[in-house]
Structure 1
Amino acid sequence: MSAPWILLRGLTRESRHWGAFAPLLEARRGAVLPVDLPGNGTLAHLRSPVAVTSYVDAVRAEVQRLGARPPYKVLAMSLGGMVATEWALRYPGEIAQLVLINTSMRPYSRFYERLRPAAWPALLRAAWHWRETGKEGIAEAAIHLRTCARFDTLSADLDAWRAIRASAPVSRANAVRQLAAAASYTVRGVPRCPLLLVSSRGDRLVNPVCSARLARAWGASHAVHEWAGHDLPHDDPQWLLDTIGVMPCVSTFVLRA
């Protein structure tokens, strides 16, 4: 049996936020196992840690509880990318392949690159309306505006995201803890498995230079999407699938959307 794909989302996002991408990946690449970070989704009742190493422990325990066995292939976004990286560094024998999407890490990126200042007002707006779960909920609209570049599915997206928030709300305290974990994480070392960094030129949350610097520092492959936003699996899932399929050993490359 081939290694399963473990999927890890980012700040306050959960397995259902993969949308159409997860079933497409499973149909194309085999077994897929989306795993929630503590404090999100099926684990919304838990207290989110403030250290990335603690997320690694929690994710490993959850994967094992769900019956998956290493080695794993891990595709992860944002905070999930930090967790996946630390997992590969601490337990290199468990990770067969890493795909990291729009992530950033100290010491390779500055704080204003890791979270663009232009995004701060929208995030503050989302935080102010965080506890709203009705159909007019402003938080999800603010998040969509900063993370997505594709708006033809906006109404359906917001309906789905607000339903997710209503069924498994992430507490404001857990959101702050996750942000603190992401902000404080410093990577020490280089993952030794096959590694692909993916960034979106249209990312309005995290500067894509963060992925470029990681790729250069690690000697890793780097794929660039020309127009997608931070939530690349939402904006162009087919492109992401195609990119994983042609993953080279080392280089920077662009697949035209």
Structure 2
Amino acid sequence: MSTWILLRGLTREARHWGRFPGLLKEAVSTDRLRLIDLPGNGEFADLRAPLTVPEMVDFVRTAAALQQDDGGPYNVVAMSLGGMVATDWAQRHPREIGRLVLINTSMRPFSRLDERLRPSAWPPLLDVASHWSDAPRVERVIHQLTCNNADALNADLAAWSEIRRSAPVSRANALRQLWAAARFTAAARRPQCPLLILSSRADRLVNAICSVKLAAAWRAEHRVHPWAGHDLPHDDPAWTSEQIRAWLMSEQAQSTVAL
């Protein structure tokens, strides 16, 4: 049984996954689930974030090796910046990745800058940068940008503000991660492992066309949520985990027929 690794995005950490890890464990029937933070976030908030995605990959590979209980290959679920890290990992070290699920990610050479970060999101992000130490304000803006499900808005903001206070990501690290994401260019070739792309049609941070272009370029299976925002695992964790379960079942069925 392979270990599943979850990678979050820009300035986010393991606790931001919310209910999703528990639902995923049930959906894929595993106890081997590892939530690894990128350097500069969460458990590693005191570290300096690298300026390149490949350096982030090197860090995550080391962290995974320290936690490994089966020697890999790993199944990786990753969103946004985490999706870039997972993609580079799979392309440069293909034997280490068994399956790859990318959620609302974007990358060159497949998408333009104004697609990877909607121009309408630039003013709110500037507001976030200029009020970085104001946890409630910053988290409210991030919620508005990334989440379309506001049913638990007050609880979300309280939890996220506490995360920011307990493991603060520095403004410098946030900018370094943003720089790394903006500069990253994936190899044109498709990762060798089975690949699923999940995206949100109503993503207000990243244009949904990014996932469409990526899926088309790599001829990958692509499933689209009709109303969720950029943080798909937050907005509809049940749908997200169910899509992964269904994809695995389909993949297993195809393997059985091939035999």
Q: With structure 2 as the length reference, what TM-score do the two structures score? A: 0.93
- For 1:33, the equivalent position in structure 2 comes to 34
Q: Secondary structure of the residue that 1:222 maps to in structure 2?
A: strand
- For 1:73, the equivalent position in structure 2 comes to 75
- For 2:161, the equivalent position in structure 1 comes to 162
Q: Deviations over 1:178-228 (max 9, x none)?
A: 000000000113201000111100100000100110100001100000000
Q: Distance in 2 between matches of 1:58 and 1:138?
A: 31
Per-residue deviation, 1:27: 2.5
Higher helix share: 2
Q: Distance in 2 between matches of 1:179 and 1:234?
A: 21
**Kindly, what percent of the aligned residue pairs are identical?**
58
Q: Deviations over 1:108-158 (max 9, x none)?
A: 10000000000111111111111124xxx2000000000000001000000
Q: Secondary structure of the residue that 1:246 maps to in structure 2?
A: helix
Q: Distance in 1 between matches of 2:125 and 2:143?
A: 11
Q: Secondary structure of the residue that 1:7 maps to in structure 2?
A: strand
Q: Distance in 2 between matches of 1:16 and 1:27?
A: 18
What residue ranges of structure 1 are gaps of 5+ in the alignment? 250-257
- For 2:88, the equivalent position in structure 1 comes to 86
Q: Secondary structure of the residue that 1:98 maps to in structure 2?
A: strand
Q: Distance in 2 between matches of 1:35 and 1:26?
A: 16
Contact persistence 2:27–2:242 (CA under 8 A): no
- For 1:201, the equivalent position in structure 2 comes to 201
Per-residue deviation, 1:28: 2.6
RMSD: 0.9
- For 2:17, the equivalent position in structure 1 comes to 18
Of 22-31 and 214-223, deviating more is 22-31
The size of the alignment, in residue pairs, is 245
Letter aligned with residue 67 of structure 2 = L
- For 1:253, the equivalent position in structure 2 comes to none
Q: Deviations over 1:52-86 (max 9, x none)?
A: 10000000000111234211000000000000000
- For 1:141, the equivalent position in structure 2 comes to 140
Q: Deviations over 1:25-54 (max 9, x none)?
A: 123321210100000000000000011100
Give the 4+ runs in structure 1 shifted more than 2 A: none
- For 2:113, the equivalent position in structure 1 comes to 111
Q: Secondary structure of the residue that 2:198 maps to in structure 1?
A: strand
- For 1:63, the equivalent position in structure 2 comes to 64
